[in-house]
Amino acid sequence: MSAELKIKLPVGIESFEEIRTEGFYYIDKTNLIRDLLEGWGKVNLFTRPRRFGKSLNMSMLKSFFETGAKKELFVGLAISGEHALCERYMGKFPVISVTFKGIVGADFQTAKGMLRYELKREAERYQLLADSDRLTETDKRNYFELLRMETQETVMVSLALLSRLLYKHFGKKTLILIDEYDVPLAKAQQSGYYEEMASLIRRNTG
């Protein structure tokens, strides 16, 4: 049996880094990075069928753009041949990456709690903001509000607020990746709280 046939298949794995470091088979879709950069848009929406690999592509984008990117993950892939793009963009931006896949509460309060948890978890990745010498004391208090995520108002402005704080710290615009954005809205439609959820998400992503 050839070595190629022995490569592990990444069934159920959506982490680009895990696939690349653990020897799983990977279909190279890194040209998507080039296409996005060359066809620049302030907002990009990916609408593909289920199981098309959208979540894995989101993970790939995070691995490429995020500050501290591991360049070795992209060795041998198509994007590594785009030297100018890699030099300019790889590892140069703060990235907020959230998934709404698990926000499927049977009622609004439950769904809001799930959303609160996801947003709070992402804010916790940036503990460096608590000690940043580029943030004011007011900024730091706002960051601690994100860590507590106690009010609906904080939930509603969390992505915009975290993005602003990251911009002040890094001096670079923040890339925001939202995976499965439609899941909470579909569940809300089924369970009768669509308007409340739509309002909550619209304020967070508008």
Three-state SS across 173-198? CCEEEEECCCHHHHHHHHHCCHHHHH
> At 95, phi and psi to the nearest 5?
-125, 130
Distance between CA 191 and CA 182 in Å, rounded? Answer: 14
Nearest Cα to Cα of residue 75 among 59, 64, 66: 64
Q: Which pLDDT score is estimated for 1?
A: 40
Structure tokens at 83: 């030297």
Q: Which pLDDT score is estimated for 33?
A: 94
Contact 93, 119 (CB under 8 A): no
Burial (0-12, 13-18, 19+ Cβ within 10 Å), 91: middle
pTM of the entire predicted model: 0.88
Q: Which pLDDT score is estimated for 8?
A: 81
Question: What amino acid is encoded at 67 in this protein?
Answer: T
Q: Which pLDDT score is estimated for 176?
A: 95
Q: How many other CB atoms sit within 10 Å of the CB of residue 108?
A: 17
Q: For the residues of 79-121, what is the DSSP string, one character each?
A: GGG-HHHHHHHTT-B-EEEEE-TT---SSHHHHHHHHHHHHHH
Q: Which pLDDT score is estimated for 47?
A: 64
Q: Which pLDDT score is estimated for 148?
A: 95
Q: How many other CB atoms sit within 10 Å of the CB of residue 74?
A: 23
Cα-only R_g, the chain: 19
Q: Which pLDDT score is estimated for 206?
A: 54
| 3-state class (DSSP) for residue 8 | strand
pLDDT tens for each residue of the chain, 206 residues long: 444 557 787 777 889 999 999 988 999 999 999 999 988 777 776 766 565 668 999 999 999 999 999 999 999 999 999 999 999 999 999 999 999 999 999 999 999 999 999 999 999 999 999 999 999 999 999 999 999 999 999 999 999 999 999 999 999 999 999 999 899 999 999 999 999 999 998 877 65
| 3-state class (DSSP) for residue 124 | helix
